[in-house]
Amino acid sequence: MSDIIESFETAKGNTFGDLLTLKEKNSSLKIGVLTVGFFEYWRMFPGTMRANVNEDMTCVYTHLCEALDQDTVIWPGLIDTLDAADKAGKKLAEERVDIIVYVAGTYCPDYMAIQALEHIRHAPVILFNTQYSNKINLQTNYENILRNSALIASLQLAATFRKMGWYPDLKVVVGSIRDSAAYGEIKKYIRAYKVFHQLKNTNIGVIGHVFRGMYDFEYDKTMIKGTLGPNIIAIQVDHLLDQFSQADEEEIKLIEAETKSRFNIVGLSDNDVYQSSRFYVALRKTLERFRLDALTLLGQHYVEQKTGTTSYLANTMIHEEGKYIVNTEGDVHGLIIMTIMNELSGQMPTYAEWGEYDEELNALLMVHHGYANTNYATDRNTVKVNRSPEQWGLQGAGFGFEYTLMPGEVTISHLIIDAEGYKMLIVKAEALHIPTNIPCEEITGVVRFDTPIKPFLTTLIKEGFAHHCIIAYGDLTEELSMIADFMGIRKVIY
């Protein structure tokens, strides 16, 4: 008799009927390359034209392989007849390519590309309009003019797409065959598409619910799956509390010792540190058991009361380890943005609330929630562990961090669904250098904006974005904008 399969809600083992046992993660994309020429020109310019065009397209393929070294680039060779186009389209369909880069090596009628694309209509297209050089050769001949006549083919094909209703969000990149900026633009687009693609296999756990009265965070699991991609899995709080009660003492002691050796702990008892270490073990085990990629935990008040601590040590350590993404207050949309930013940058973003403004600095004080990767501190030596300033029914002092975020270029984002559907906030800003910690028992950052601060806040409030924001180091604005386009949602960009 075979073993009985149960739901993750009740099963005692590690195989569930309603969760994938093995889940794809960080798989590379397959990039199909369609390069076209025109058979008519080979007989007009025998011996040189076809060879030169093929050399140019080989150069494009080589540069794409270098730029997209984390993915698989599939090139069925130069297409110059309708039979070749049909064969190439079938080949890329068999390979199940995820995205297409189309390149004309000279003028070529649109019907050849159409023939190939008929077989792979599911894949988005990047139209790379290229030529041999980025300068006009005033001593050129007609053969070389034809060699650099891809613009005619690009315009014709894009116009045909418009008439046919194909690829309404066609991505167009312009650059010569050795233009590194053009390949960088292609790489950004494909990286954004990969993150969008991966979201569909992302499992986000929710323990508890959205904090009472935070209607801006409320969500619809079906809308999230249908528009944004991730699977939302409700995890009963008892699962976490069971892991807390069963946490292995040796693991707890290791985390406790590490915490005491790493941080300057002020005003906490040994039991406060012990309970926080125990919470870390419980939260990590919960993430592992239910095959989650990310998790949001309400926390207030129930979990704090039952465990006698906060999740802030656990969240910080999990962020520093980089395998899972966590936040609090039921902020699912913030967690999705954190997931996106982490995939784009390879760094765990931070999680904050909008705060008071400074008109002279043209900046805002960002206040975090007691946890973030401590590598972001302006000075690691000043990182302090103290009580939680907000006491949600704790028996002890809780656990929280105090430090100031390091300076640097940052991107700020969040998602919200309103009466017109989803929209994404995308803001480029600068975290300022604040040499000493703000003594508020919290993580803080001072962020300067390009837009004058009062008009910025006026617009932000009027747009109706959530009271949380996600902050990542680096400029991710272009990739976030592309992901919003893939999702088919609105963007508000500053």
What is the C-alpha radius of gyration for the chain, rounded to an integer number of angstroms?
27
As a whole number, the mean pLDDT across the chain is 93
pLDDT of residue 183: 98
pLDDT score at 25? 64
CATH architecture type of domain 30-199: 3-Layer(aba) Sandwich (3.40)
- Tally the C-alpha atoms within 13 A of residue 449's C-alpha that lie toward its C-beta: 23
CA distance 74 to 80: 17
Q: Is 222 helix (H, G, I), strand (E, B) or coil?
A: helix
Q: 66: part of which helix (H) or strand (E)?
A: helix 49-67
Can you tell me the distance from the alpha carbon of 454 to that of 318, in angstroms, rounded to the nearest whole number? 36
Main-chain dihedrals φ then ψ at residue 30, nearest 5 degrees? -105, 120
Confidence (pLDDT) at 1: 40
| Residue with the larger pLDDT of the pair 390 and 234 | 234
- What the block records as the tokens of 362 is 């043209």
Between CA 120 and CA 138 the distance in angstroms is 40
Buried b (16+ CB within 10 A) or exposed e, 387-420: bbebeeebebbbbbbbbbbbbeebbbbbbbbeee
How far from 14 is each of 8, 83, 291, 324, 369, CA to CA, in Å?
8, 52, 10, 19, 33
For the chain, the structural domain boundaries read 30-199, 203-493
- pLDDT tens string 418-475: 999 999 999 999 999 999 999 998 999 999 999 999 999 999 999 999 899 999 999 9
pLDDT tens for 100-157 read 999 999 999 999 999 999 999 999 999 999 999 999 999 999 999 999 999 999 999 9
Q: What is the CATH number of domain 203-493?
A: 3.40.275.10
Question: Are 341 and 192 contacting, i.e. CB atoms less than 8 angstroms apart?
Answer: no
Prediction pTM value? 0.92
With tokens 């693609």, the residue in question is 197
pLDDT tens, residue by residue, 298-348: 877 778 888 888 899 999 999 999 999 999 888 999 999 999 999 999 999
Q: What is the mean pLDDT of residues 175-196?
A: 97
Q: What is the spatial distance between Cα 187 and Cα 25, in angstroms, rounded to a whole number?
A: 20
> Is there a shared CATH topology between the 30-199 domain and the 203-493 domain?
no
Structure tokens at 315: 């969240």
Q: For 77-86, 373-382, 394-403, which range has the lowest pLDDT when averaged over its residues?
A: 394-403
Give Cβ neighbours of residue 164 (< 8 Å, ≥ 6 apart): none
Q: Which two tokens stand for residue 219?
A: 């969500």
pLDDT by residue (tens digit) across 253-293?
999 999 999 999 998 999 999 999 999 999 999 999 999 99
